[in-house]
């Protein structure tokens, strides 16, 4: 099974189209959205081609392939536009005999962990900065932001296949990876 991770779309029509193009190119089984889907938030600049309604329309076409969690910029009114569940603070995906906890990162992160055990994986967004590390026998992963990357990183997404987590730019070039042993 191949999983595709995208975070922090922030209502950008341009970048959701780029993300969907990457999802299709990767031929992933599921699209996992790590929050901050429609709204750009008061701290962020207005993203390129800001159009939350059209972003919702595009994502709704993939609703049977999407697993999503709520970000700090997502609200109950957003759920009215989205045709898949997106209001959980975290969710668990079973993958190759391990638990992957997906969350946005504004509540649960490296400094405020869920009840994880050795070999579990925590994947979150929120910081807009890529991370692929093992910390106290737990994997901490962040695909960065598809729309508003920080720390001079590229617009990016993550792919997990055969226990290899790769963070890629929008052209599909891997620039960070970690093997989940």
Q: Report d(CA 140, CA 52) in Å as an integer.
A: 29
- The pLDDT tens digits of the residues spanning 15-67 come to 999 999 999 999 999 999 999 999 988 888 899 999 999 999 999 999 999 99
Residue-range definition of the domain harbouring residue 41: 3-179
- The pLDDT tens digits of the residues spanning 82-119 come to 999 999 999 999 999 999 999 999 999 999 999 999 99
Say which CATH number the domain at 146 has. Answer: 3.60.21.10
Q: Report d(CA 121, CA 101) in Å as an integer.
A: 6
Structure tokens at 33: 């959205």
Structure tokens at 80: 């009215």
Total domains in the fold of the chain = 1
């Amino acid at each position: 099974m191949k999983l595709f991770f995208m975070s922090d779309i922030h209502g950008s029509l341009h970048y959701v189209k780029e993300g969907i193009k990457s999802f299709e190119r990767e031929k992933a089984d599921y699209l996992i959205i790590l929050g901050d889907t429609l709204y750009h938030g008061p701290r962020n600049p207005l993203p390129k081609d800001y159009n939350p309604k059209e972003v919702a329309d595009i994502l709704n076409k993939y609703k049977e392939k999407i697993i999503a969690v709520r970000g700090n910029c997502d609200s109950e009114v957003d759920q009215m536009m989205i045709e898949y569940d997106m209001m959980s603070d975290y969710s668990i995906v079973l993958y190759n005999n391990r638990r992957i906890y997906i969350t946005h990162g504004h509540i649960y992160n490296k400094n405020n962990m869920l009840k994880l055990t050795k070999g579990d994986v925590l994947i979150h967004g929120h910081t807009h900065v890529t991370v692929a590390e093992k910390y106290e026998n737990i994997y901490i992963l962040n695909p960065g932001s598809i729309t508003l990357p920080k720390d001079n990183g590229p617009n990016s997404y993550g792919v997990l296949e055969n226990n290899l987590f790769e963070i890629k730019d929008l052209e599909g070039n891997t620039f960070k990876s970690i093997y989940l042993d």
